[in-house]
Amino acid sequence: MSKLEASELIAFQRIFSEDQSHAEAKCECGRLYFDGYNDYDAEWVKEVESFRKLAKKQPDKYIEIPHAIGVSVIDGKRFVYNCKCGGLKHYKDLIDDNAEKIIEYLRKKSAFLMQQADAINPDKQ
């Protein structure tokens, strides 16, 4: 992935991001990510220890990262930022591959909405 592609993916992640980050989050692919750096509370410290044990047995399924977990939501699916499944990139690529058609659709939709607004307030025409 080039630097430009990486920057575009980061922007895409943020646009579709949930409002808050998490101490732990499961990606659509089934991988569970947990924040091993921040000590949120005593319960969390115990939770991290149990996740670390699971991570030793299944390192591809339980993944410790040194910060809170960002999640993007699209099409009803939750994807952890930068998960190796690339699930979010699939949607970005779909939109990129159809960008001209999506722009054309949004222009037509915008014109339709303006017609509706003018119909509600005919003095503005």
Residues β-bridged to residue 80: 71
In the complex, least distance from residue 53 CB atom to Zn ion, rounded to whole angstroms: 21
3-state SS, the chain, equals CCHHHHHHHHHHHHHCECCCCECEEECCCCCEEEECCCCCCHHHHHHHHHHHHHHHHCCCCEEEECCCECEEEECCEEEECCCCCCHHHHHHHHHHHCHHHHHHHHHHHHHHHHHHHHHHCHHHC
Residues near Zn ion (CB under 5 A) are 27, 29, 83, 85
User: Which residue's CB is nearer to Zn ion, number 27 or number 48?
Assistant: 27
User: Which residue's CB is nearer to Zn ion, number 76 or number 122?
Assistant: 76
User: Which residue's CB is nearer to Zn ion, number 46 or number 90?
Assistant: 90
User: Which residue's CB is nearer to Zn ion, number 29 or number 68?
Assistant: 29
In the complex, least distance from residue 95 CB atom to Zn ion, rounded to whole angstroms: 19
In the complex, least distance from residue 109 CB atom to Zn ion, rounded to whole angstroms: 32
Angle CA 81–87–89, to nearest 5: 80
In the complex, least distance from residue 105 CB atom to Zn ion, rounded to whole angstroms: 29
